[in-house]
Amino acid sequence: MATTVSDGGEGAARYRSAQVGLTRLLVRDVRGLRRLILPQRLRESVPDWLSTMQAVVDQYARASAGLAAEFYDAQRDAAGVGGPPFTVPVADPPPPEQTEASLRWAVNGPLGAGPGRSGDDGRAAAADGRPPGRSRGESRAGCSEARR
């Protein structure tokens, strides 16, 4: 008979720790890829950066999905779930167009709008916790004085 398995157990802690470690490695690798963007050659360097980032995102997405599937299998075994064998399907990485759109949005502020890209639609401001239309360098005091 199946038993209850808590997400507060040792297995869940190992899974979370593995995902945190994987995230740290991803951040390290992504930070290292910034050197591929050359300000003096944006049109030439950004496409190379995007394709390299896609490869890194795909690699870490597969690793993360694999960890999740292994954790799920281990939890099923620990709970004593019977029945026919079940294999967790590993999720595919995000589609390239989704990754590219997210990356282009993320660098819109530092790189500005370019051909085929829209300008700031307010998401960058929201991510920074500032109202749309306020520049990153604009102080709150300056804004409130201008409104008086």
Q: Are 30 and 55 in contact (CB under 8 A)?
A: no
Q: Report the pLDDT value the prediction gives residue 127, as an integer from 0 to 100.
A: 55
pLDDT in tens, 43-74: 889 899 999 999 999 999 999 999 998 888 88
> pLDDT value at position 136?
52
Q: Sign (positive/negative) of CA torsion 46, 52, 56, 61?
A: positive
Regions of the chain with pLDDT less than 70: 1-7, 109-148
Q: What is the pLDDT of residue 140?
A: 47
- What is the per-residue pLDDT for 104? 86
Domain boundaries, given as residue ranges, for the chain: 10-117
The pLDDT of residue 43 is: 86
pLDDT confidence of residue 25: 96
Q: Which residues of 93-118 are buried (b: 16+ CB within 10 A; e: fewer)?
A: beeeeebbeebbbebbbeeeeeeeee
What is the model's pLDDT at position 58?
95
* Eight-state DSSP code of residue 83: S
Predicted pLDDT of residue 147:
40
pLDDT at residue 51 in the model: 93
Burial of 125 (0-12, 13-18, 19+ CB in 10 A): middle
For residue 107, the model assigns a pLDDT of 80
